[in-house]
Amino acid sequence: MDPITLGIIAYKASSFAADAALTGATVAAGIAGIAGAAGKKVIEVAVPIAKKTGTISIKFVKSGINAVKEDGNTSLKLTKHLDIIDNGLNIPLGFGENQFKKINNDIASDLNIIKGQNEVLFLSNSIRYFLDSHAMKTGIDRGISYALQYDIKAVMNHLEKTPDLRFPGYLLHQCLSLSETIKEYNSFYDGILNDGAIKEWTKESAFERLDRTFGIDGNPSATRRYIPAEYRREWNKSKFLSESNSKDQAKWKKLFTSNEKEINDEAHGALFTLSDELVANEALEFDIYQKLESKPNSKLLIESYN
């Protein structure tokens, strides 16, 4: 059975589990078995011949690397195992697995659920639409991504006007799970751009990269490199606080303070992280497209890490 079909089965299983209140451990075991069966080793990334919803096309190659190498295609091998590949590059399946990760205690303690806030709650339906629409896809449909970003922005604007609002825990969990799934996709894309090298980012390594300046004027690097959105957001907050006086730092207790409208509490921060990961995915995809244009047949073969 192909990875897309398996992804649909697992995604529907995880949705049913939530509706039927099945135990997370039972469903997680089922998903793990499906993901293992769906694992593929060779992925073809190419500039699509026909117009698609994205600038690149992605598919698994069943004949193996040697068969497609004979056609003169360039290949690279990933240096690290990625769960998203085991999941058939299927977003709903990756989301299903990430749903079983616990919410951080610091985030959970910040929640104050207020019922009847339709302006916020409709975002849950938007995330569900995003997942359903990608059940038969690899890669991210840019139009659907824009629609989700639009809804996220609408909720951000609502939060700015009602700073005491906290959205429900299940919606927070959806945002975090989807952010993690898109981040896995972005790590894969970043590996393609860096000849297969998968960067294992930590907060320290991300801060070191973002702090580094160049030239006599101390300019940031002009070279774009993917850094997980969660670390960029933490760095923005740290920089804001280090450059502010004590009076300004006190304002950080409020939601929106910096020019970038960064947010201080982790619950609402999940919105920014999800939105930023979606934007990063589009930028990475465009960079891959430009890389493919210089390759024979505008194709690149990716071997997964053994």
* Phi–psi pair at 91, nearest 5 degrees: -65, -45
The pLDDT value given to residue 203:
93
Q: Is 221 left (phi over 0), alpha (psi -120 to 50) or beta?
A: beta
Long-range pairs for 220-229 at CB < 8 Å and ≥24 separation? Answer: 224/283, 224/287, 225/190, 226/186, 226/187, 226/189, 226/190, 226/193, 226/199, 226/280, 226/284, 227/201, 228/183, 228/186, 228/201, 228/277, 229/179, 229/183, 229/272, 229/273, 229/274, 229/276, 229/277, 229/280
With cut-offs at 50, 70 and 90, classify the pLDDT of residue 34.
very low
Q: What is the pLDDT of residues 131-164, one digit of tens each?
A: 999 998 888 999 999 999 999 888 887 777 776 6
Residue 133: how many CB atoms within 10 A of its CB? Answer: 19
On the CB side of 49, how many CA atoms lie within 13 Å of its CA? 1
Assess whether pLDDT exceeds 90 at residue 228. yes
With cut-offs at 50, 70 and 90, classify the pLDDT of residue 229.
very high
The single-letter DSSP state of residue 221 is P
Strand order in the sheet with 74-77: 57-60, 42-46, 299-303, 74-77
